[in-house]
Structure 1
Amino acid sequence: MTPSMDDCIGNCTDCHATCLSAVAHCLGGTAAHAQAGHIRLLLDCADICRTSADFMIRGSGFHHRTCGVCAEICTACAAQCDRMADDPVMKRCAEMCRRCAESCRAMSTATA
């Protein structure tokens, strides 16, 4: 395992937790925060982050593919959360999603 893979695993794990926390926050917040599409995207992001971390931890030869999808979903989630950047939880989520997307994008192009 390389240092960049360790960083990516950490980012995926942190992003998973951040997105789940954001879901809990949204469900207790305003109507815009609780829209089904927004919650669904946060849950999609949390799940793909967990999956990507799992693939890298166990040394799967397919981790580059899950990381590519993870980067795509994290980018979409960051954009969605940026629309609510006046909310500190959404701002933190957008920042974490961008960080995770960046490291996953790098892993997706690394040789398997």
Structure 2
Amino acid sequence: MISQLTLNQVNPEMRQCIENCLDCHSVCLNTVFYCLEKGGKHSDTAHIRLMLDCAEICQISANFMLRGSDLHSRTCGICADICSRCAADCQSMGDDSQMTACADMCRRCAETCEQMSMAMR
């Protein structure tokens, strides 16, 4: 886990946000393949695109924070929005443990990214 690393000038809140972004990236990518295998509404193009968008922006946000970019608050703001949308979309798929886990991870990431985006304003 990233918390075991010594990161230059990374406070605990940012470290948690980085962890959440990296975890959300992984969960969303894993869930895309789950959805494609499941088929039906799970494999809807808009749903898959949103999960891929979420995975991508999470990776980008983590990278911006890891390298200390002064623009990370902007990527985190966009990440919070996309993660919130992805959480709602995954939750709408019904009572499915994979989709619920994805929605929960997206919500956690959205929360910490929102905090990071507000901290720099």
Equivalent position of 1:84 in the other structure: 93
Q: Which runs of 5+ in 1 are unaligned?
A: none
The structure with the larger Rg is 2
Cross-structure match for 1:17 = 26
Verify: 1:49 aligned to 2:49, yes or no: no
Among all aligned residue pairs of Structure 1 and Structure 2, give the percentage whose two residues are the same amino acid.
55
TM-score by length of 2: 0.90
Q: Residue 4 of structure 2 corresponds to which residue in structure 1? A: none
Find out whether 1:62 has 2:77 as its counterpart. no
Give 1:111's aligned residue: 120
Which consecutive unaligned segments of at least 5 residues does structure 2 have?
1-9
* TM-score normalised by L of structure 1: 0.98
How far is 1:84 from its partner?
1.4
- Partner Cα distance (2:114, 2:52) in 1: 20
Identify the residue that residue 37 of structure 2 maps to in structure 1: 28
Aligned length: 112
The equivalent position to 2:15 in structure 1, one of 6, 10, 18, is: 6
Structure 1 segments (4+ residues) deviating >6 Å: none
